[in-house]
Amino acid sequence: MRFAFLLSTFLLTISSTFADKPNVLFIVCDDLNTHVSTSGYPHIETPAFDELAANGMTFRRAYCQYPVCGPSRASFLHGLYPQSTGVLDNKTDIRNVRPGTISIPQRFKESGYWTGGVGKVFHNEKFDHGDVAWDQVLRFENDEMPIVTPIREQFEAEHGPVTEGKSRRKWREFYPTIAPQTRGQKPGYGPTGLKDEQHKDGKNSLQICEWLTESVHGDKPFFMACGIHKPHGPFLAPDKYFEMYPKADLKFTPASLEFWRTVPKIAQTKRYEGFGFEFGIENEDLRREYMQSYHACISFIDAQIGRILESLKQSGHWDNTIVVLTSDHGYLLGEKFMWGKVMLFEQCDRVPLLIRVPDGIKSGSTTPGTSSEGLVELIDLFPTLTELCDITPPAELQGKSLVRMLKDPQSAGKEVAYTVVTRGEHLGKAIRTQRYHYTKWPTGEELYDLSRDPYEETNLSDAPKHKATLEMMRKHLAKSETVAIAAKQPESKNIDSKTRK
């Protein structure tokens, strides 16, 4: 009898504790730059972003810590700068270079939350932390495009199944030659002939909706992460989203070679070659092809995010769920003749960030429709969520909680935001203050006055009248470098064998 009473009391205490815990829905897009309405971009429709912004806070000066998928995700999922994670490329697993480091979903799972992930949250399946982080984790693939089916069937009639032996290798070599849509990350682009729910991201959103509707988390609070794949290449989306953006109507400013006469060449990459461009030559028709495809992908994922937000309401979780919507880094679409990521310009490093904290959350809610111009970093998300949910964060976190800013949109952000990227054995290092952007390379420097030159067209590093500003930014960078490598190692270096599956 006494045991039953104690057990009942314990369960009631646990239930009461969980009842006070808010849920978390964490949505991270892949390669999404600030071509969304909430970032002030007027040429694209993103109503789901708008809805979330109308119900929460928009951070207009949010920056990634490394403009590449793997290092960025290792950074913000563990609340550490890349130099502390040891992950500076897409091939390194943090569990090998920094054993025992705790991720956001792991900390929530350890704290009694039901955790579920779909799509690309960790960089790929090989790097996913598995059971230690998730109660359920799923990844999907696109259905076969209608343009591919008859070609595959003919190929199989001649060579055998495309999933077996030599035929598999031949098919993989042949597949990218079928159409622009089949070029993979070369990159491919174009309408797929598929419906929303036949794409990875359509499946991702439906899975989140199913978890919400079926209350798969039971009596526990939940942490659900939806890893949206697009607009990462190949730039594929259902046909209707391409129809929203006629190529002739797309707006952009032609690039200029004048810029590169004052900027170290190491600041650029040659990724434009993979897109089919020549440096210094504006190919307007091809640029419009890619821009249309990229924008179609953004409207497509916005629709999937909208579906998730509606399901959050219909399932009764809207009033007790914190929602975070962001991207792992930005993307250049022909600006400065550059394409893709791995650069330290604003278009690569600045990301959309929306956070909604509903009324009743003990740590404080967001005022609907507010925005902040304060500097924030993606590594700030981990300590923010643990504070909002009254969870003890790992001791080594380098990010700073944004709860104060969520309560007061006028409160100041960080003094600086720090981003790095590799060039061979060296690092390019960028620092942003409220007004300036400074980058240090092994072979030169860049300095931009973002208040007067938001598109970074004029490098001021050699301008005599900006000498004092340059010195100030150098000091900011030196201080940030010291902080970025200072995270202490986790107390435990034991790794659950399940994480290495």
What is the average pLDDT across 359-378? 88
Look at residue 11 in the predicted model and tell me its pLDDT: 40
Q: Contact 386/78 with Cβ under 8 angstroms?
A: no
| Among 4-8, 292-296, 352-356, 377-381, the least confident range | 4-8
pLDDT digits (tens, 9 = 90+) for 385-404: 999 999 999 999 999 999 99
H or E element, residue 24 = strand 23-30
- Is pLDDT of 183 > 70? yes
Four-way CATH pick for 21-143+194-415: 3.40.720.10, 2.60.40.10, 3.30.70.1060, 2.170.190.11: 3.40.720.10
Residue 489 has a pLDDT of: 78
**DSSP labels for 348-405?**
HHEE-EEEE--TT-TT-PPPTTEEEEEEEEGGGHHHHHHHHTT-PPPTT--S---HHH
pTM: predicted TM-score of the whole model, two decimal places: 0.93
pLDDT in tens, 440-474: 999 999 999 999 999 999 999 999 999 999 999 99
Measuring CA to CA, which residue among 36, 60, 59 is closest to residue 48?
A: 36
Tokens of 365: 């809610």
Tens of pLDDT, residue by residue over 234-245, are: 999 999 999 999
Query: Picking from 219-223, 274-278, 485-489, which range would have the lowest pLDDT averaged per residue?
Result: 485-489
Average pLDDT taken over every residue of the chain: 93
The C-alpha atoms of residue 359 and residue 253 are separated, in whole angstroms, by 43
Q: What is the pLDDT at residue 465?
A: 96
Q: From the CB of residue 400, how many other CB atoms can be counted at a distance below 10 Å? A: 17
Name the residue ranges covered by the structural domains of the chain. 21-143+194-415, 145-189
For residue range 48-83, list pLDDT tens digits in order.
Answer: 999 999 999 999 999 999 999 999 999 999 999 999
Q: Considering only CA atoms, which of 417, 420, 447 is closest in space to residue 432?
A: 417
What is the DSSP track for 88-124?
A: -SSS--HHHHSTTPPPHHHHHHHTT-EEEEEESSSSS
